[in-house]
Amino acid sequence: MNSPRRFSPVHEALRQLGGSWQEINGMPALIRGSQDQQTASHLGIADLSFLCRYGVKGTNAAPWLASHGISVPETPNTWGVLPGSGLIARLGMTEFLLEDGLDSSLTLQIRQVCQPPPCPGLPGAAAGFIPGPLWHRCAGIAAANLQS
C-alpha cells in the first residue's frame, strides 16, 4: 500500500517563493530560496518539516527504546539528544516522540523495527522550523547530505 505524498503545512507559501527544491524523505523541500542571500543577513526561517518523526508509547516503551541504544529522558515533558543528531521527547510516563536531525535516520530504523507494530506510530502532519541565521546553514547541510 502506498502512502499519500507528504507536504509541509507551509508548502504552498514556500512554492510561491521560487528557488531550488529537492525530495527529502519523500517530501518536497525548499533547499534554497530565490532571495536567500538578502534574507540570511538579517532574518530567516527554514522549514524542516521533512525531518522524520516517530512516536512510541506503552508501558514498556522506555526499556524498549533503551534496548535500541536510545537514552530516554527520565521525567515527562523533557527531551534529550538522539545518537548522531535529533531529539527524543518524553511526552508522558509512557509516550515518546523521536525526531531525526539533519544528519540522522534513526527514526526510520525504529519505524522498521516496529513493523508490524507492537509500537503504534503517531500519524499526522507537523511543521518543523528553525529561526534565525542558522536556517541558511541547515538548508546547506541538508543539500550536502543528499549529494553525498
pLDDT band at 75 (very low <50, low <70, confident <90, very high): very high
Query: What whole-number distance in Å separates Cα of residue 27 and Cα of residue 125?
Result: 12
Predicted confidence at residue 128, as pLDDT, reads: 59
Query: What whole-number distance in Å separates Cα of residue 138 and Cα of residue 33?
Result: 13
DSSP code, position 28: E
pLDDT band at 24 (very low <50, low <70, confident <90, very high): confident
Q: Which residue has the higher pLDDT, 73 or 2?
A: 73
- Percent of the chain residues past pLDDT 90, beyond the cut: 20
Size (the chain), residues: 148
Beta strands across the sheet bearing 78-81:
53-57, 95-100, 86-90, 78-81
pLDDT band at 83 (very low <50, low <70, confident <90, very high): confident
Q: Residues 6 or more apart from 78 whose CB is under 8 A from it?
A: 89, 90
Dump pLDDT digits (tens) for 38-65.
Answer: 665 555 667 777 888 888 888 999 999 9
- Percent of the chain residues past pLDDT 70, beyond the cut: 66
pLDDT band at 134 (very low <50, low <70, confident <90, very high): very low
Mean pLDDT across the stretch 72-77? 93
Q: Is the pTM of the predicted complex or chain greater than 0.85? A: no
pLDDT band at 74 (very low <50, low <70, confident <90, very high): very high
Q: Residues 6 or more apart from 126 whose CB is under 8 A from it?
A: 9, 49, 53
